[in-house]
A = this chain, B = another copy of it.
């Protein structure tokens, strides 16, 4: 099945807005085993839109159109779709009512120009938008089915998952429901994760589950794209595979689905009634920057110290695991927090280069004493800095969960 993505809007065409909607849609389709064949970007311009619709209608089986569904006159998607279909726009009473109700619930009167958002091509199939005023719709132009989605990212993302992908799968003769289950790991590279998981039977025998990876250093995302006849079938297929993945990736799983590493840590600190102080050197304050702004952190995050120099942290000698533990203990006492994390770094000498590295020393202090960890990372200045912050946070997560803090990671050289 040939699928195209057609992005509309002057902001995208002129480059003012970077087109992250395109990459989100394309990646999501790939997760579901659907490939994208062509991408087009045009502005809020009637002639270009019409030409783009006609050309895509000749080339593709399905076209996802993004943008142009707003209430203002420069949003032209419905109008031009109707023109391409040779039909007129008609009011969708259901959507008009839904919009008015939504405004009324917030004690407001719907502005007159929102009516435009309920005007759909006469032959259109309505597509729901549960979180916005721009409903989607589908029409056929040429030989392709066109699915229109809103430009607002969170509305587009939800409509894509809930409405568009199921329709594309149906178009491609693929029945049933789908789900994307995600695991976030730190410390294993893509090829090792593939080795660890590739032998799972369900991935081999086309059990309706597709395994995929996406590396966002320093984390790796492991994705299970599942298809089933219905929700019950899907859950039955997923459960044993999910359990197996969790078993094999084990302690390296830092979070699942929408969770983040820092969110998991904060959750554990809150659950345990703990508080936290941090001290970091050469990580550009990234540990504090990830934890401190989280909702709920105000009661937990006591203090972060950011230094470029160990002397500033009260360290006289070399960076070492013992020094990190001592600094964590100092910070814990000085701040009155129940837990303290110290991440120190001894950077290599000389200019930045691909094998530029650093020795990372991590110390954690709590009421029971201290634990520490030392590791050598390479990969250039920025890479090492980002890796060190992640390693520090991961050690804290492991400590809070009672897991070993010194399990060897793939980015480490010994």
Contacts and interface: CB of A to CB of B under 8 A. Distances in A.
A293 B304 CA distance: 16
Contacts of A41: 22, 38-41
Chain A interface helix/strand/loop/mixed: mixed
A300 to B, nearest CB: 8
Interface string A281-317: 0101110110011000110011111111100100000
Given A15-B23, A303-B312, A306-B303, A289 B285 contact: yes
Contacts of A42: 38-39
Contacts of A385: 293
Contacts of A297: 308
Nearest to A17: B23
Given A14-B26, A20-B18, A298 B309 contact: yes
B306 A285 contact: yes
A234 interface: no
A287 to B, nearest CB: 8
B303 A305 contact: yes
Copies in the complex: 2
Contacts of A303: 305-307, 312
Given A285-B306, A302-B309, A305-B303, A26 B13 contact: yes
A409 B42 CA distance: 37
A335 interface: yes
A88 interface: no
- Name, among A13, A26, A37, A43, the residue most crowded by chain B CB atoms within 10 Å (CB to CB): A13
Contact of A289 (B14, B38, B286, B308): B286
Interface residues of A, number: 54
A25 interface: yes
A171 B19 CA distance: 28
Contacts of A210: none
Contacts of A282: 292-293
A30 interface: yes
Nearest to A334: B312
Nearest to A51: B59
A59 B51 CA distance: 10
A40 B37 contact: no
23 contacts: A14-B27, A15-B24, A16-B27, A19-B22, A22-B41, A37-B48, A38-B40, A38-B42, A39-B41, A39-B42, A40-B41, A284-B289, A285-B286, A288-B288, A293-B385, A298-B308, A301-B308, A303-B306, A304-B305, A304-B306, A304-B307, A305-B306, A312-B335
Closest 10 CB pairs of A and B: A15-B26, A39-B41, A15-B23, A304-B306, A285-B285, A285-B288, A288-B306, A284-B293, A15-B27, A285-B289
